[in-house]
Structure 1
Amino acid sequence: MSDKMALIPFKQLLHWVMEEHEHSGMVFGMPEEKFYHKTNDRHMELFGEVIDTPVGPAAGPHSQLAQNIIASYMSGSRFFELKSVQIMDELEIAKPCISAEDECYNTEWSTELSIMGAFEEYVKAWFILHVLQKELFKQSERRFMFNMSVGYDLKGIQSPKVDEFVEGLKDASQTRIFQECKAALLESLALFKHVDQAFIEKISPNICHSITLSTMHGCPPTEIEAIIRYLISEKKLHTFVKMNPTLLGYKYVRNTFDKMGYDYIQLREESFTHDLQFADGVEMLKRLKAFASENKKDFGIKMSNTLPVKIARGELPGEEMYMSGRSLYPLTINLAYKLAAEFGGDLKISYSGGADAFNIDRIFATGIRPITVATTLLKPGGYQRFKQIAELLDPLLDNRESSRLDMDKLKALAESAFEDANHIKESRDMLSRKTSLRLPLLDCFIAPCEKGCPIEQDVPEYLRLVGEKRYEEAFDVIVSKNPLPFITGTICTHTCMTKCTRLDYDESVHIRGQKLVAAENGYAGYRQKLSPTEPCSSAQVAVIGAGPAGLSAAYFLAKAGMKVTVFDKRERAGGTVEFVIPDFRISREAIRNDIELIEAMGVKFEFGVNPNISVADYQAKGFNYVFLAIGAGKTSSLAIQGDGERVRGAIPFLEAFNVERKSLNLGKRVAVIGGGNSAMDAARAALRVDGVEEVSIVYRRTKEYMPADEEELAFAQKDGVIFKQLLAPVSLDKGILKCQVMELGQADASGRRSPVAKEGIYEELPVDTVLSAIGELIDYDLLRSNGIEIGEKGKIKVNEETLETNIPNVFIGGDALAGPWTVVGAISHGTKVAKAILNKENMEFKQEFASRISFDKDKQLLEVRAKKAVLQAVCDDDREPGRCLECNYICNICTEVCPNRANLMIPVVGEGLTNRNQILHVDGMCNECGNCETFCPYDDAPYKVKMTLFWGEKEFWDSANTGFVIIKEAPEPVVKLRLNGEVVDVAFDQAGGTNVPIDSSVAALIWTVIQRYPYLYKV
């Protein structure tokens, strides 16, 4: 497999576009629902030209190839900043070269093509766009424009090949490619309904009369100025010059990153000191502005160039990469304001630097225009995002070219950037949306939310049912795997939401809240229809512990027809949820609803049981199986010197708080040590104790690194809890908590920066009571007394598949096995134990649900996803289900995020396929940028794993990919196929049968490509 892209000849490119649109209503995978249709005459003027929208792709991965430009145009782009060229062309760039999981990094700095190869791509795109605007959008007059981009020094720009490029785009009439494209169009008039010879003859050869200069970081000011003077006076071009964020200075950028949560980004101070300085830049711009006016050309600045940063965490190969995206926005918009202020707003600014649907209308309202984007297009949705952006800006168009900036609006926008939630980094954003699964060749669509859930809850199914107000059915779906819907609908740690694809658009779907909506509205009806399963086994199960793990196992066992009794030392069921978690987080009524559901299944309970009773005692009472779900029974002690009497465990405190809070005496000031959910609970509960005036959470890292759920942090802050960061307790003496002051060092294995002590520096806090929330411990003594083996480092020896201990038919799970864990994690253990016991009894594990959701048409699937796949503010509960993208039915992320359109969704009908939609990878269009690997929910790279179509035998043999090349076409096609590492020639008959036995699903995909998508391989 090569990372060199093969360029599609113009005639084949034209046929591809027209045939794909006729066949499927798409253009390079862009669905018709995302085509941008202009319905009014609002426009923008730029350099004397008219453009329908002021947006387009920045010089980069989305403006390198003709198909990229075409895809941008179809969805709303009308200003195209062509990818930069420079004298060093056909670059050898290490791959992958893009990392856009959150903020974006890249190692490309100009086109990967030869200079004239790039020129030909731009000419081909120029012609195709003319045809599309006439044929599909019924526009005769051009309402889009191209802007060329060059670098990096004057000598290179003046070289013959760069000069040929520039002059060719100014007037392409005498070039071979222009004449070839024109002739091909005239030969293909039969393809069109609205394009005729007269229209083709009128297509202008004057492709560009504007240019953007992109200079390398460190380019001397005199060189930059000389280049611009040359472009304006000698080349007669309207000119933008890219300005680097380094103009703001190292200290400003460093402080901004640290303040906004990007403290892990490593900068080189020399990148700032060796680059153009602000004062020199302003003076240069003043001279050039006057020079351009003298030469009757427009001049402005392009905001901004990317920022060079160190490759410190292996994001990409090499030592240095270029940063863009949401982290760049605060820098870029503030630099724009700072420069514009020097000119009193009389400065033309073209903008790129973190623009997206959340801020682009505000950027445009300042008078900044045009605006180009790149990072937002690398996210799921891809080019389709242009339509939303174009529609946002359409009402703001004023049919003119901006002459003066609105400095009040620009100042306000710059100031607000530091507080904008869309640009502040949260440590939780560092969590990968990937699963640990391997990507299959076929049938790969999965819902990452489901796979990220420990019990693989059927999230898209119940979200759709809730959206349709079919609450009882939604409840049925939920309890098929989760017998605690009220509890998990209220306090679940919702790992599903950390995997939600919507995170790459705006915010996760509020999955947990929708579960509670289903529970509250579906419980009563479901409960009325529920009856216990008749026992169908004489075996009995003793479940020790009535917390989430024990309750879950009991539910599934009883549902299958086993006799189950749950024993607990307390007076009622619920475990930690009932006795530790405060009532301001979850109501006791919600807990009781879940307990009643389990009781209705026929589970028996015995309370007040001696906790020291042994496993042997239960076995002696006739229980065939014992499940130890006893929780983590010991509190971690806080190792500090001094007054130990004023130090309490957070868990015992919370238990006491739930029983009788009025009897507690904590004093006026309380310090809670820890950063998890228990610490937040303890802090919020302490504030509700009589006499307490102030509660602080003391944590050795910063708040961004606290493991507590984001909403729990927010609740604590809202309640008035004070966060004392970068402090480690040392001693408590006479009401003073002495803390070691810490600072953040390098990241540890968890990805969190390790706290490092500042030697000799301490902070003293007046404190009456310290609550330790640093974790609970497994009661190993109790386990050893029952003969359960404990391995190295306290790891309990169990069968990982069944959780059976070394004692036959004795199982352990939940906190007792894993230590302090989550409710849903405990449910997964209970489920696993129930399955294991039922398997021993040769009984069926019942986890089905009655409702099944399906779509009648694949096209409807695409339409639904296309409408939902836009950036939007968080919705209310009634509209929240509609934000779900239903990834389990259609994903297509790898097709959306590919700038070159190398991954395609192919509808296939074949035996053995569970989903009609399959992914095909086209080798010749891939440059191995790696973006599809970043966003694929599997732990794999689609461009390496998915079925690959090769355009030639050489490319086939140069690759190890599973895939095929067509070596003979109709009437009886023959392909060379690599499958499972073996290569075989496969001949197809006219009915799609094969001469050799191959997987029927693979054969169906190949036959579909041959029969229905000939334009994919006739290049």
Structure 2
Amino acid sequence: MQEYRKTGTIFGIRRFYKADKNKKISLFNEKLEVPFGPAAGPQTQLAQNIVAAYVSGARFFELKTVQVIDGEDTGIAKPCISARDEAYNSEWSTELRVPQAFEEYTKAWFVLKLLSREFDLGDPDGFIFNMSVGYDLEGILTPKIQKYIHDMQDVSNTPIWEECLQAARKHMEQFTRIDEEYLGKISPHVSRSITLSTLHGCPPDEIEKIATHFIKEQQLHTFIKCNPTLLGYDYAREMMNKLGFDYMEFDDHHFVEDLQFEEAVPMLKRLQNLADRLQRNFGVKITNTFPVDVGQNELPAEEMFMSGRALFPLSIAVAKKLSDAFSGKLQISYSGGADIFNIKDLFEAGIWPITVATTLLKPGGYQRIQQMSNVISSLEYPNYVQLELDKLTELVEKSKAQALYQKPIKLPISPKIKEKLPLLDCYTAPCRGTGGCPIDQDIPAYLRYVSEGKHLEALKVIVDKNPLPFITGTICAHPCQTKCTRQFYENSIDIRGVKLEAAENAYDELMATMEKLERKENAPKTAVVGGGPAGISAGYLLAREGYPVTVFEKGNDAGGVCSQIVPEFRISMESVQKDVDIAKFMGAEFKTGEAAPAIDSLKDAGYENIIYAIGAHKHNNLRLDKGEAINSLEFLSDLRVDPRHNVYGEDIVVIGGGNTAMDCARAAKRLPGVKNVSLVYRRDKRNMPADEEELLTTLDEDVTFRELLSPVSLENGYLTCEVMKLGKRDESGRQRPESTGQFVDIKASTVVSAIGEKVDDSYFNELGIQTDPRGRVLVDPDTLETNLEHVYVVGDAHRGPATIVEAIADATKACSSICEIHNKNYERANKNIDLQEPRSKRGILLTDEDPVSQAERCLECSTICESCVDVCPNRANVVINVNDRPQIMHIDRMCNECGNCETFCPYSSAPYKVKFTLFNNEEDFYNSTNQGFYVIDQATKTCLVRYKDKEQTVELNTTSNTDIADGIIDLMETVIDDYDFCLAN
């Protein structure tokens, strides 16, 4: 209540869900406002988790599983959750002792009774708690578990119930709608239902005995958890392989040892009959676990449980198979991969209640519940259980075909930036961080401008640091998109496309309004050798600062690979020329059609600085035992000049798996008279270096991909290749190709070698410029100056083959060492954005029914991030407003070190280890290495503080001589003064 009055939030939840009190569905002889909520898992382990889920919109709570082996005895290693895409976990039951879990669930039940009435969120009797218990009969019959089951049905005679009542009475002044009469009416019957979560390998007769015990002796409404192992190993393996999850490692032992479908159906029918006679609800739970091996160090365990979107195709297939056997009369409690994209279909197919876990572990967290509750509550509630078999069939088929359930051909790149998480002021947009945008563009700023229809303002932000809006808006490798937080909602924003939108809509206006600086008097002249992306960028930047610059390009047109190599169907000469014209407008001179003079001649002509930007054009030779392949760059260059002249024959084979290989294959496909274009690579598609979109586009154009083949010889119109197999992973994480000794022949009139380019180091050596053993030019990393004074090298020549945006970054660095580059800072300042606006987007996923532009999808992480707050199930990361600036603080006592915040923090750090931490007591303080504090005396503001590895006792009112940063002092004082509800009482 104090948090709500201070911040308008409850456990960090900003948007509250109010249920329609007139709409309920009957379950377990109770009335349920929304048959939806969190599954047994991290979101139902602690009272605050359940409270956060309720105020977000959950009304059905499948409590985290309890078992006889509990607490520290479970031996769960940490971290225990990995939820970047499909999720994995190694925590199969509550980490608390069973009596502690009972207390958490009781407290949550009681608090929901108070909040529902106080905030008018719904009927205080409109939600249901469902127990989850495992794993074998012996454990369930122990006194500890029996007491838990008994007490959950009636908590009235337990100490925790009395404690709840006394706490409510003590804090009665906090409420306006709670009184003693209301407290006396709160039901002590926390749960009347149970889900049996049997461990893999539990025999069917034992499962039936446990369920019979629940239904008959305990008089509980009962669900039995059924796993995808009912489908059989072959089905599961084939499905995972087909959908791109072939890297998941599992064998058939669980499928052999677990309950078999032929055993399950008659058992379930017997139990259904028993439940019907005793007037109990009975059904199955499908399913929040699928056991797989830890194959790539996902978690510190040998086996883990998979969930999320990869589980949906298996779970819905189990639902269909069982529903067919019961003619749609078997109730299904569903959890396997449910989310906003399928929840409507699930409910309309007759499946309910529905619970979720994985989707709540991603940015947006508990706030995702509201959207799903809104969807379900808008639908017509059924009066009885009836599965719609036709709709289930449609769902099964959708799960096999929809992209939502398919792993991309290319495994995703790490979304993290290289920087470490700072103690304060950590909000950052990863799209512009290290590993995101090499030129540090303010991407959120121009996305916001485009979303507002202000294309000129957006283009000004872009060209402030990026001289090539058309080229980068068309063929940039867009590393920014691999870091975009939106990928954890639906998919990354098409940042590159938005950039092009701004360029196309505002280019003419930009050219009409740009101001050209006067030439600086006595400014040194610079010669830029090479008119590709790096050269154009250098020319633009220097000219913009008023420095004389000439760009020399031996080709007839500036643009380098963009105008001479990259096919016209990927980028037009018109687009390239617009970027060149921007540089020319600024005052850059371009000399084309002849090679640049030698260094001495350039210096004699008055050029004091020389920048080499000539790229990597030396071809890696493909060695064949017989025959020869042609050079990919020459092939593309010739087709750029005359894309309709075919001298290559009917059957063209391209060797390679990079973007150049894709260009060659697509260009070959357009040649008249070509019948077949094949692309040969020694690994599979997943391990090709090409960008995913280039690979997919090539596939769409019916190029034949011939994977796991290594070319050997070209003779008599056939290319002989050795068949390869994938072995152990190399340092890059890709599996090494290994020989098999088998060979195949591919019809080939021409073979094009596209196995990479390298720097022509002989050119630089002749100039006296030093190179390394790999042929790359040696430069000062801060200035890109070579061993020759005032001679710089940018782009491919010092990096090796690089991206266009990396070439711009190099040009900026070299130019910055020649003169000061003034960015005009068109970026919109954070203070001009109402924080409620970006926060309102958190937890809202966009479906096909939402007409939202790409630019509008931006979450504006540079203004407000809070991913670590969103994704923490236990609410251990909190927002503290310090001097009107939101800061993140970690609360030690609420953290179980699951590791989820580390997965989604954009930095290469773990917030639960790095963020300034509030400790509960001295023991916790000294048991940790986190920087943080423990409040010894709130009145005198005396704290035990660890800061930069130094531990000290500090009175915050007298810190003038301390070495603790002012921002940290302010944070601690703010917590004591304004957020004392975070302190343990």
The answer to whether structure 1 residue 517 and structure 2 residue 501 are counterparts is yes
The answer to whether structure 1 residue 440 and structure 2 residue 422 are counterparts is yes
Q: Give the CA deviation at 1:728.
A: 2.2
Q: Which residue does 1:501 correspond to in 2?
A: 485
Q: Is the 8 A contact 1:975 1:985 kept in 2?
A: yes
Amino acid at match of 1:302: K
- Mean Cα displacement is larger for which, 542-551 or 134-143? 134-143
The answer to whether structure 1 residue 866 and structure 2 residue 849 are counterparts is no
Q: Which residue does 1:5 correspond to in 2?
A: none
The answer to whether structure 1 residue 610 and structure 2 residue 595 are counterparts is yes
SS in 2 for 1:174: coil
The answer to whether structure 1 residue 923 and structure 2 residue 892 are counterparts is yes
Q: Which residue does 1:3 correspond to in 2?
A: none
Q: Which residue does 2:442 correspond to in 1?
A: 458
Q: Give the CA deviation at 1:460.
A: 0.2
CA deviations over 1:914-944 (Å, ceiling 9, x no partner):
xx11000000000111110111100011111
Distance 1:882 1:1000 in 2: 37
CA deviations over 1:979-1019 (Å, ceiling 9, x no partner):
11112222234xx9767453211111111111111111043
% identity of equivalent residues: 47
The answer to whether structure 1 residue 346 and structure 2 residue 329 are counterparts is yes
Q: Is the 8 A contact 1:43 1:399 kept in 2?
A: no
Distance 2:411 2:184 in 1: 53
Distance 1:866 1:742 in 2: 51
Q: 1:533 to 1:984 in 2, by over 3 A?
A: farther
Amino acid at match of 1:792: P
Distance 1:454 1:377 in 2: 32
SS in 2 for 1:409: helix
- Mean Cα displacement is larger for which, 776-785 or 993-1002? 993-1002
The answer to whether structure 1 residue 190 and structure 2 residue 173 are counterparts is yes
CA deviations over 1:620-670 (Å, ceiling 9, x no partner):
3332211111111222222223332xx322221111111123333221221
The answer to whether structure 1 residue 893 and structure 2 residue 862 are counterparts is no
CA deviations over 1:28-50 (Å, ceiling 9, x no partner):
0001xx21122463332211211
SS in 1 for 2:43: coil
Amino acid at match of 2:143: P
Q: Give the CA deviation at 1:869.
A: 3.7
Q: Give the CA deviation at 1:855.
A: 4.2
The answer to whether structure 1 residue 946 and structure 2 residue 915 are counterparts is yes
Q: Is the 8 A contact 1:87 1:157 kept in 2?
A: yes
Distance 1:42 1:772 in 2: 67
Q: Which residue does 2:901 correspond to in 1?
A: 932
Distance 2:827 2:445 in 1: 8
SS in 2 for 1:944: helix
Amino acid at match of 1:767: A
Q: Which residue does 1:982 correspond to in 2?
A: 950
2:286 corresponds, among 300, 303, 319, to 303
Q: Is the 8 A contact 2:770 2:778 kept in 1?
A: yes
CA deviations over 1:418-446 (Å, ceiling 9, x no partner):
22211111154431110110111101011
CA deviations over 1:437-475 (Å, ceiling 9, x no partner):
011110101100011111111100001111112211111
Distance 1:961 1:44 in 2: 48
2:182 corresponds, among 199, 205, 223, to 199
Q: Which residue does 1:754 correspond to in 2?
A: 736
Amino acid at match of 1:275: D
Q: Which residue does 1:728 correspond to in 2?
A: 710
Q: Is the 8 A contact 2:530 2:613 kept in 1?
A: yes
Q: Is the 8 A contact 1:497 1:510 kept in 2?
A: yes
- Mean Cα displacement is larger for which, 427-436 or 176-185? 427-436
Q: Give the CA deviation at 1:141.
A: 4.3
Q: Which residue does 2:973 correspond to in 1?
A: 1007
1:249 corresponds, among 232, 257, 269, to 232
Q: 1:139 to 1:383 in 2, by over 3 A?
A: closer
Query: In the TM superposition, what are the counterparts of 1:766-777 in structure 2 within 5 Å?
Result: 766-777=747-758
Q: Which residue does 2:821 correspond to in 1?
A: 845
Q: Give the CA deviation at 1:876.
A: 9.6
Amino acid at match of 1:708: A
Distance 1:65 1:614 in 2: 73
Q: Which residue does 2:547 correspond to in 1?
A: 562
SS in 2 for 1:616: helix
SS in 2 for 1:793: coil
Q: 1:427 to 1:987 in 2, by over 3 A?
A: farther
CA deviations over 1:234-293 (Å, ceiling 9, x no partner):
111111111122222222222222211112111133222222222122232222222222
Distance 1:643 1:304 in 2: 57
Provide TM-score, normalisation by structure 2. 0.97
Q: 1:43 to 1:756 in 2, by over 3 A?
A: farther
SS in 1 for 2:724: strand
Q: Is the 8 A contact 1:42 1:397 kept in 2?
A: no
Q: 1:372 to 1:875 in 2, by over 3 A?
A: closer
Q: Which residue does 2:581 correspond to in 1?
A: 596
Q: Is the 8 A contact 1:643 1:734 kept in 2?
A: no
Q: Is the 8 A contact 1:631 1:816 kept in 2?
A: yes
Q: 1:875 to 1:349 in 2, by over 3 A?
A: closer
Q: Is the 8 A contact 2:363 2:842 kept in 1?
A: no
Query: In the TM superposition, what are the counterparts of 1:952-991 in structure 2 within 5 Å?
Result: 952-970=921-939, 972-989=940-957
Q: 1:248 to 1:759 in 2, by over 3 A?
A: farther
Q: Is the 8 A contact 2:882 2:974 kept in 1?
A: yes
1:538 corresponds, among 523, 526, 540, to 523
Q: Give the CA deviation at 1:878.
A: 7.0
Amino acid at match of 2:871: V
Q: Which residue does 1:831 correspond to in 2?
A: 812
Structure 2 residues without counterparts, runs of 5 or longer:
none
Distance 1:277 1:663 in 2: 63
Q: Is the 8 A contact 2:651 2:674 kept in 1?
A: yes
Q: Is the 8 A contact 2:367 2:842 kept in 1?
A: no
1:313 corresponds, among 285, 291, 296, to 296
- Mean Cα displacement is larger for which, 284-293 or 404-413? 284-293
2:535 corresponds, among 550, 555, 576, to 550
Q: Give the CA deviation at 1:399.
A: 5.1
SS in 1 for 2:264: helix
CA deviations over 1:54-79 (Å, ceiling 9, x no partner):
11111111000000000000111100
The answer to whether structure 1 residue 717 and structure 2 residue 699 are counterparts is yes
The answer to whether structure 1 residue 258 and structure 2 residue 246 are counterparts is no
SS in 2 for 1:920: strand
Q: Which residue does 1:166 correspond to in 2?
A: 149
Q: Is the 8 A contact 2:838 2:860 kept in 1?
A: no
Q: Is the 8 A contact 1:514 1:877 kept in 2?
A: no
Query: In the TM superposition, what are the counterparts of 1:15-414 in structure 2 within 5 Å?
Result: 18-31=1-14, 34-39=15-20, 41-91=22-72, 92-137=75-120, 139-398=122-381, 400-401=383-384, 403-414=385-396
- Mean Cα displacement is larger for which, 376-385 or 845-854? 845-854
SS in 2 for 1:396: coil
Q: Is the 8 A contact 1:245 1:305 kept in 2?
A: no
Amino acid at match of 2:539: A
SS in 2 for 1:784: helix
Distance 1:385 1:715 in 2: 33
Q: 1:878 to 1:543 in 2, by over 3 A?
A: farther
Q: Give the CA deviation at 1:138.
A: 5.5
SS in 1 for 2:614: coil
Q: 1:856 to 1:462 in 2, by over 3 A?
A: closer
CA deviations over 1:940-986 (Å, ceiling 9, x no partner):
1111111101111111121111111111122x321111111112222
Q: Which residue does 1:905 correspond to in 2?
A: 879
Q: Give the CA deviation at 1:795.
A: 4.1
Question: C-alpha root-mean-square deviation of aligned residues, in Å?
Answer: 1.9
Distance 2:296 2:245 in 1: 13
Q: Which residue does 1:10 correspond to in 2?
A: none
Q: 1:884 to 1:160 in 2, by over 3 A?
A: same
CA deviations over 1:733-769 (Å, ceiling 9, x no partner):
1111222223333333222333333322x23222222
Q: Which residue does 2:791 correspond to in 1?
A: 810
